[in-house]
Amino acid sequence: MYCTYFITGGAGFIGSSLAESLIKEENKVIAIDNFCDFYSLKIKENNIKELEKNKNFILYRADIRDRQAVKKIFDENKIDVVMHLAAMAGVRPSIENPVLYQEVNCMGTQNILEEMKEHNVKNIVMASSSSVYGNCKEVPFREDMIVDYAISPYAATKKANEVMAHVYHKLFDMNVIMLRFFTVYGPKQRPDLAINKFTRLMLADEEIPMFGDGTTSRDYTYIDDIVDGIKKSCYHVMKNKNVYEIVNLGNSSPISLKEMINTIGQAVGIKPKIKQLPMQPGDVEKTYADVLKAKKLIGYEPKTTFKEGIQNFVNWYKENKELYS
């Protein structure tokens, strides 16, 4: 279906990948991004370079904390569905600057919900995170588990988003899907994430800092599978009424830190030099998604194996390494 999609955080890793896919299918994409300095602007500018050549892509360089700027976007465009991805991401930096995380992730989100309400826009798909599961002992993580025990400010803001979106669903008939992403990786991946950092270090023949003994594990999810899951969630909220769902988007196949390092080593073609360091505060031991609900509800079916995904990332990284210098 050809629609007008509004992507917040449209110059980011996931936002720009999603925008590319929607533009290819001849939809109209409105995006907002404030190009915050969480990581190099060069990378974000590169993410949207091709998109900006397309007349169906309109980018507002503005901040979601600025209510008037958000209002202007809703005044100027007839939006079918909002994909709210703008956020301060990252667990460790949220411990250093929790107030900023609160302002962007919570107040910014409220501005989006308020302007949707004012403009009678009913459909939203929003990024939550696997971080809300904290150190839940039972695996795989299911959406109906109790997630009241966040262990980082970042996770707490994502849980707060899930709760606030439910309020707008109940009071103002909004159709909402909250997507709990599980460590997303692939071409354009954020430079602060381990796969990106480790690739950079291995290509420079430097040591890899391994926090803990290498047995912690993550359910890594390839960017194309995430984009597919977000689009399917959009179709669901647009087609149905009275929707409020929390949905895991993961790969349901955790990879240990050691295996991750070795897989990158194979793709780069070297034997990694590992330096073991203590675990970091805020880090969880394991993430592992149960994706049964996503399969049933939206027909989500992740396809990319970790080995393939890492090889794609490493190939892409080699061609774009000047962005990370």
- Of the pair 205, 306, the CB lying nearest ligand NAD is at 306
Residues that bind ligand NAD (CB under 6 A): 9, 11-15, 32-36, 38, 44, 63-65, 85-89, 104, 108, 127, 129, 181, 183-184, 190
Strand partners, 276: 210
- Of the pair 107, 206, the CB lying nearest ligand NAD is at 107
- Tokens matching residue 155: 């996770």
CB 248 within 8 A of CB 293: yes
Residue whose C-beta lies closest to ligand NAD: 12
262 sits in which H/E element: helix 257-268
- Of the pair 26, 37, the CB lying nearest ligand NAD is at 37
What CA–CA distance (Å, rounded) separates 121 from 174? 8
Q: What minimum distance in Å lies between the beta carbon of 221 and ligand NAD?
A: 8
- Of the pair 201, 227, the CB lying nearest ligand NAD is at 227
Measured between alpha carbons, how far apart are the two ends of the chain, in Å? 40
- Of the pair 2, 221, the CB lying nearest ligand NAD is at 221
Q: What minimum distance in Å lies between the beta carbon of 205 and ligand NAD?
A: 27
Q: What minimum distance in Å lies between the beta carbon of 136 and ligand NAD?
A: 16
Residue 25 CA: distances (Å) to CA of 3, 4, 22, 215: 10, 12, 5, 41
Q: What minimum distance in Å lies between the beta carbon of 23 and ligand NAD?
A: 17
Residue 62 CA: distances (Å) to CA of 29, 35, 38, 208, 297: 16, 8, 15, 37, 34
In the three-class reduction of DSSP (H, G, I as helix; E, B as strand; rest coil), residue 185 is classed as strand
Q: Which residue has 């993961």 as its token pair?
A: 250
Nearest to 303 by CA among 251, 231, 230: 251
CB 31 within 8 A of CB 62: no
What CA–CA distance (Å, rounded) separates 183 from 222? 9
Active site residue 244: no
Q: Which of 101, 154, 220, 317 is catalytic?
A: 154
Q: What minimum distance in Å lies between the beta carbon of 131 and ligand NAD?
A: 7
| Residues labelled catalytic | 154
